[in-house]
A and B are shown apart, each in its own frame.
Chain A
Amino acid sequence: MSTAVHDHPHGHDDHAHHPSGLARYLTTTNHKDIGTMYLWFSFAMFLTGGVMALVIRAELFQPGLQVVNPDFFNQMTTLHGLIMVFGAIMPAFVGFANWQIPMMIGAPDMAFPRLNNWSFWLLPPAALLLVTSLFVPGGAAAAGWTLYPPLTVQMGMGMDLAIFAVHILGMSSILGSINIITTLLNMRAPGMTLMKMPLFCWTWLITAYLLLAAMPVLAGAVTMILTDRHFGTHFFNPAGGGDPVLFQHIFWFFGHPEVYIIAIPAFGVISQVIPAFSRKPLFGYTSMVYATASIAILSFIVWAHHMYTTGMPVQAQLFFMYATSLIAVPTGVKVFNWVATMWKGSLSFETPMLFAIGFLFLFTIGGFTGLVLAIVPIDIQLHDTYYVVAHFHYVMVAGALFAAFAGVYFWIPKWTGRMYDETLGKWHFWLSFIFFNMAFFVQHFLGLAGMPRRIPDYALQFADFNMVSSIGAFGFGLAQLLFLYVVVKCIRSGEQAPAKAWEGADTLEWTHLPSPAPYHSFETPPMVK
């Protein structure tokens, strides 16, 4: 095996001198440094997008217009969505991929270390474009994160900044995906066949394919918006033979796989955490792999379930309804397997496991409401109501974000060599869990009663639930400052963590590497039986 590196304990000449301070992070080619940057960037964006969410919830605390004007409200909903999706959740999981994939497959680093650096450092300019757009004449893009024309064709310069931000974010994702696929296909330790990879690696392999297929389509869609805005094309203008609904088709051809781009790595984290704290191997590993792949493939033929109310032919509505319902089957397989993993396990409930179980409950609720929305006649009633907002926040926050928290608590002993404060971690979980449900569960009722989304004012009968939701949102936001404190405290003064910090964890990073993992791990690949 040509990766069988000669044993030069830390005498690796290519790495002997790396710069320190800021220059270290600007120029680093190390997957751990880059993973750390991804995670901190993601957290900073999470707070930025979170503050925008709180502006929204402050305005919606009471009926009437109190805090912001409607145009700024629309800018907040738009930027909140874009920043949370592209700035917070996606980079968080790429951060996990960077830290974990090389360690979990016994590789010395990612396949293209310099490209890896670039994938990360493309994010700050894109974030700068998005945030700057708030301060240009006309303000930021205010058409919702889905960027539907004709609104997006009519807006000011903020829209152009958002378009180029999306282009750069897409580049970052594509380059990152190429790196992840190549690493997983080409850098596994001898003996680690594909079907022996930890499930987290599998989920990222599949996610990377989704990104490669979906992000270029989004780039095409926003390019068409740009040329419609400034170069006189008529892609989305019926006067020139185009159609605004065309944008929705192209956008959701990207947008629905995007949902799984966010969810599938979360499934991967959960599939590592639940077995570790059940002290049992993952139930149905093979079926997990196939279920994940099935979800990914199906995600490309369900996009128009976001568009039932646009006047599609009934045949199309039926097709997309059935195809969407079909996704419940592999998703059900996964949920069943997680529960079966816990069945008769020797369970313990440290913070990662709490977040994983929280995920299991709440993600399943989000999945069920998704199934409700997949049904055409019901969706026509619920389209663009708070029911939809509740549904996707159950998937994005209680799904993806809770999984990210589970992942941080699970792996932080390996990353820092120190243990987090278990009591405070549990506080973080329970506060997040309770306030999350307070913020979003009531939104189901608001949506069922007909409250439209993305509107800064509402009818009086919605007042009570909105107040509850806003209190929950602020509580949830404050609870995340506790998370920041727990992480900083862990890094500064946590107790020393053993190499195998969790009794039931059995992947390579726990069994073959000390805590903290050395800067260069697996220059000599381990043999995997």
Chain B
Amino acid sequence: MSNASTDRYYLPQPSTWPITGSIALGLLGFGAAFSVNRLAAGYVLLALGFAVLIYMMFGWFGTVVRESVAGKYNDRVDVSFRWGMSWFIFSEVMFFGAFFGALYYMRVLSVPWLGEVDQKLIWPDFAPGWPIAGPGISEKFTPMGAFGIPALNTLLLLSSGVTITLAHWALKKGNRGALIGWMFATVALGITFLGFQAYEYGHAYSDLNLKLTSGAYGATFYMLTGFHGFHVTIGTIMLIVILARCIAGHFTPEHHFAFEGVSWYWHFVDVVWLFLFIFVYWL
């Protein structure tokens, strides 16, 4: 390495951001537990927790951005970031795995079992199938069709995967105009996806009578698409930050891991969506 100051693996000074984050998580934990039990104090703690968390994220990420721009991270730190982000995404995959597992288990095992002869005493008229709410839920609902908005959303997310790759190519060629343009397009596609998703939820609740309480189908539908939508929201916020950093000129054609990390994350939510589209909406 030519520059002596970056020869050393960067070890940060003592920092107050982690403990700030712990205070935030503590507040959120108590706040959430009290809120779900309808205690007024819970909502206050929850709001406070989110405020501290957002403050911490601004502070901590801001510090990392400043250190990166100041050239404190050498290639080896860059490799650390790559490993770190990859394994973080792997843990996210496993989180979705739990909910997909629940979906398959209900669809393939527990719902058919409820129609077997030893359940006839409790629910004599139950005919298993899918999509279904379950034997104890009499309220009817209409399942969500795959080839309306969900298909359009698939198209949007797949296109955003293309635009972010085009932005990456532009970044590597040093073409700032194209980089910012394609990043802007990616953000726009992400926000459009979220808008459609919100509209679809409204439609499901008001027109299809499909709710979180609609048994097996409702629970898996909303939990899977809901957690995915939450991840797309986070991804979109990350993209907006990266767009701002592109405009600020933080990235060089050689050194831009933040951009790549976010694009990995974006591809991850994209792939999860494909599974959702196939197993939740379509089949």
Contacts and interface: CB of A to CB of B under 8 A. Distances in A.
Q: Is the A/B pair a real complex?
A: yes
A175 to B, nearest CB: 9
Given A167-B29, A232-B212, A29 B95 contact: no
A224 B26 CA distance: 21
A230 B11 CA distance: 44
Interface stretch (A2-10, A273-281, A463-471, A477-485): A2-10
Contacts of A187: 9, 76, 80
B18 A118 contact: yes
A196 interface: no
A243 interface: yes
B22 A124 contact: yes
A347 to B, nearest CB: 40
A259 to B, nearest CB: 17
Nearest to A208: B87
Contacts of B219: 227, 233-235, 240, 242
B99 A26 contact: no
Interface centre among B10, B74, B76 (most CB of A within 10 A): B76
30 contacts: A2-B74, A14-B11, A18-B14, A26-B19, A27-B14, A27-B19, A111-B83, A112-B84, A114-B18, A115-B18, A115-B84, A121-B18, A124-B22, A125-B26, A129-B33, A157-B34, A178-B87, A187-B9, A212-B87, A217-B94, A217-B98, A223-B223, A224-B223, A227-B212, A227-B223, A238-B134, A239-B136, A240-B133, A241-B111, A246-B110
Per CB-CB distance, the 10 closest pairs between chain A and chain B, nearest first, are A239-B136, A220-B98, A241-B216, A125-B26, A241-B134, A118-B18, A240-B215, A232-B213, A233-B219, A216-B95
B217 to A, nearest CB: 8
Given A118-B18, A178-B84, A249-B105, A128 B26 contact: yes
B11 A238 contact: no
A240 B14 contact: no
A129 B13 contact: no
Interface in B71-124: 74-76, 79-80, 83-84, 87-88, 90-92, 94-95, 97-99, 101-102, 105-106, 109-111, 113-114
Nearest to B60: A114
Contacts of A112: 80, 84
A134 interface: no
B80 to A, nearest CB: 4
Interface string B1-34: 1001001111111111111011101101110111
Interface in A1-53: 2-6, 12, 14-15, 17-19, 23-24, 26-29
Nearest to B222: A233
B33 A157 contact: yes
Q: Give the interface size bracket for B toward A.
A: 35 or more
A177 interface: yes
Contacts of B25: 122, 125, 168, 171
A526 interface: no
B276 interface: no
Contacts of A164: 28-30, 32-33
A253 interface: yes
Main SS of chain B's interface residues? Answer: helix
Given A2-B75, A6-B7, A121-B18, A240 B29 contact: no
Given A121-B19, A186-B83, A2 B7 contact: yes
A232 B32 CA distance: 17
A243 B109 contact: yes
Contacts, number: 250
Interface in A167-226: 167-168, 171, 174, 177-179, 181-182, 185-187, 212-217, 219-221, 223-224, 226
A187 B21 CA distance: 26
Interface in A318-340: none
A5 B7 contact: yes
Given A129-B29, A242-B134, A243-B110, A220 B99 contact: yes
B206 interface: no
Contacts of B10: 14
A114 B15 contact: yes
Contacts of B102: 220, 224, 235, 246, 250
A227 to B, nearest CB: 7
A117 interface: yes
A121 B22 contact: yes
A354 interface: no
Interface centre among A4, A29, A160 (most CB of B within 10 A): A160
A165 B29 contact: yes
Given A163-B33, A224-B223, A241-B110, 19 more contacts: A2-B1, A2-B9, A4-B7, A27-B18, A115-B84, A118-B21, A124-B26, A160-B32, A216-B94, A217-B98, A217-B101, A221-B98, A234-B137, A238-B136, A239-B135, A239-B136, A240-B219, A241-B216, A250-B98
B134 A239 contact: yes
A302 interface: no
A367 B7 CA distance: 48
Given A233-B219, A241-B114, A122 B22 contact: yes
B186 to A, nearest CB: 26
Interface string B210-239: 011101111100110000000000000000
A91 interface: no
Contacts of A179: 84
B219 to A, nearest CB: 4
A161 interface: yes
A18 B13 contact: yes
Contacts of B222: 233
A277 to B, nearest CB: 34
B83 A182 contact: yes
B110 A111 contact: no
A90 interface: no
B132 interface: yes
A185 to B, nearest CB: 6
Contacts of B14: 18-19, 23-24, 27-29
Contacts of A223: 223
B70 interface: no
Nearest to A230: B36
Contacts of A18: 13-14
A126 B33 contact: no
Contacts of A216: 91-92, 94-95, 97-98
B91 A212 contact: yes
B124 to A, nearest CB: 14
A139 interface: no
Nearest to A117: B18
A19 B16 CA distance: 11
B15 A29 contact: yes
A379 interface: no
Contact of A160 (B33, B90, B97): B33
Nearest to B99: A220
